[in-house]
Amino acid sequence: MNWQRVFALAAAVLALSLVAAAIGACAPQRGAPAPAVGPGETGFPKMTLKFNHVVARDTPKHKAAERFAQLVRERTNGAIEIQVFPNSELYKDGEEIEALQTGAIHFIAPGTDKFGVLVTEWEATALPYVFSSVEGFKQFEDPENPVARELFEKLRPKGLLGLAIWENGWKHFSSSKRPLIVPDDFKGQKFRTSGKPDEAFVKALGGSAVVMAFSEVFSALQQGVVDGQFNTWNNIYTQKFHEVQRYATSSDGAVVLLYGVATNAQWWDSLDSRTRQVLFDALKEATKYGNELAAEENRVALEKIKASGRLEIHVQTPEEAALWRVAGEQVQREWVSQGRVSQETLQKLASLGKTR
């Protein structure tokens, strides 16, 4: 037997088999299951994004963040997934800005005063009595508002890009010691505050203050580390602060809790224009939803607090509010004299919502 001819024939057969297999692999596979929709079919890159915040699930902020995630998922056919982490699950409110700068997360929505660690001018939005009305801060929330856009631009050199303003409503003081009617009632009491503007307001009213992470407030109130706090009805109820406090003062018009939704500027700029647009449009729609929800959520929370019977609530009179305003305007003057904010920015914010 001619073994050379046998080996040559076998090699030829093997080669033909390999070619046939390759052709078959490239040919359409009729009857095979349809492949999962990938980035090529959707036109969007496949990615999982993280949105960190520090409040509870049953809040306007979380509901707006979830709506944002839902809209993005639907409009990209699941290519872009946004995971929302509430209750400081990833980062506390003193940590999330740095986490965003380093690219560890993709979106945050801290109180606007928190941006003061980067740009002190942002603290103007959290100073007492800077907004003259609900209409004023509603106008500030408008994505086309030039005052908000100007402040957002100041964050870019710090690596952040501001995208939207969310609201939670007016903030109210509570205490475990005594009712808070006039400034003298604050003396001898320590209050948890979220940042420097609130801290200065408490001190101007006669109390002492400590800046503390939001996730630590309930235990601090429960253990008597602090006597009181300053927050919206929704946050007071969802965090159960009313269960460890005895008195509260309803003080609409003093300080409004606003959130600034921000992302990492470098990461955002790296996205293709179509992806950026779908994210921005979804966020704009979620912002409208959340901001319309805030007033109702606070109303419901207040009713539930009243129904619990745990908190004695005093509704501030105009005369009492005038005494608090003296302290608040003192804080505004301090911020201007220290160069933390400009008089021009305060005037721009105060003018919002006023009829011309």
Confirm whether 19 is domain-assigned.
no
User: Would you say 108 and 64 are in contact if contact means Cβ atoms under 8 Å apart?
Assistant: no
Confirm whether 20 is domain-assigned.
no
Confidence class of residue 41 from pLDDT cuts 50, 70 and 90? low
| Statement to judge: residues 87 and 200 lie in one domain | no
Confirm whether 204 is domain-assigned.
yes
The pLDDT of 132-139, averaged and rounded, is 93
| Statement to judge: residues 203 and 108 lie in one domain | no
- Residue 251: CA atoms inside 13 Å, Cβ hemisphere, count? 28
- Residue 244: CA atoms inside 13 Å, Cβ hemisphere, count? 18
Confirm whether 279 is domain-assigned.
yes
| Statement to judge: residues 93 and 160 lie in one domain | yes
- Please give the pLDDT value at position 353: 86
Q: Regarding predicted confidence, which is higher, 8 or 185?
A: 185
Task: Give the Cα separation of 92 and 104 in Å (integer).
Answer: 13
| Statement to judge: residues 69 and 132 lie in one domain | yes
| Statement to judge: residues 216 and 80 lie in one domain | no
Please report, as a single letter, which amino acid is at residue 225.
V
Kindly report the average pLDDT of the chain as a whole number.
90
Confirm whether 276 is domain-assigned.
yes
Confidence class of residue 40 from pLDDT cuts 50, 70 and 90? low
| Statement to judge: residues 98 and 206 lie in one domain | no
| Statement to judge: residues 332 and 220 lie in one domain | yes
Q: How far is CA 336 from CA 30, 47, 347, in A?
A: 73, 44, 11
The pLDDT of 126-138, averaged and rounded, is 95
Q: What percent of the chain has pLDDT over 70?
A: 88
Task: Classify burial at 240, counting beta carbons within 10 Å of its beta carbon; exposed 0-12, middle 13-18, buried 19 or more.
Answer: middle
| pLDDT tens-digit series, residues 278-323 | 999 999 999 999 999 999 999 999 999 999 999 999 999 999 999 9
Question: For 123-238, where are the alpha helices, taking DSSP H only?
Answer: 134-141, 146-153, 196-205, 217-222, 233-238
**pLDDT higher than threshold 50 for residue 193:** yes
Here the CATH number for the domain that contains residue 272 is 3.40.190.170
Q: How far is CA 43 from CA 33, 37, 99, 275, 288, in A?
A: 21, 10, 29, 9, 27
| Statement to judge: residues 102 and 216 lie in one domain | no
Confirm whether 191 is domain-assigned.
yes
| Statement to judge: residues 147 and 292 lie in one domain | yes
**What is the extent of the structural domain holding 249?**
172-255+299-351
Task: Give the Cα separation of 341 and 166 in Å (integer).
Answer: 21
| pLDDT tens-digit series, residues 212-265 | 999 999 999 999 999 999 999 999 999 999 999 999 999 999 999 999 999 999
The pLDDT of 88-94, averaged and rounded, is 93
Q: How far is CA 60 from CA 57, 249, 287, 344, in A?
A: 8, 22, 10, 31
The pLDDT of 17-43, averaged and rounded, is 41
| Statement to judge: residues 119 and 85 lie in one domain | yes
- Please give the pLDDT value at position 94: 86
Strand 228-231 to 312-315 pairing: unpaired
Confirm whether 240 is domain-assigned.
yes
| pLDDT tens-digit series, residues 43-76 | 899 999 999 999 999 999 999 999 999 999 999 9
The phi, psi pair for 196, rounded to 5°, reads: -60, -40
| Statement to judge: residues 236 and 265 lie in one domain | no
Confirm whether 126 is domain-assigned.
yes
Write down the residue that tokens 């007016």 correspond to.
170
What is the total count of domains within the chain?
A: 2
Please report, as a single letter, which amino acid is at residue 34.
A
| Statement to judge: residues 242 and 284 lie in one domain | no
Helix/strand/coil for 287:
helix
Task: Give the Cα separation of 70 and 261 in Å (integer).
Answer: 17
- Please give the pLDDT value at position 88: 95
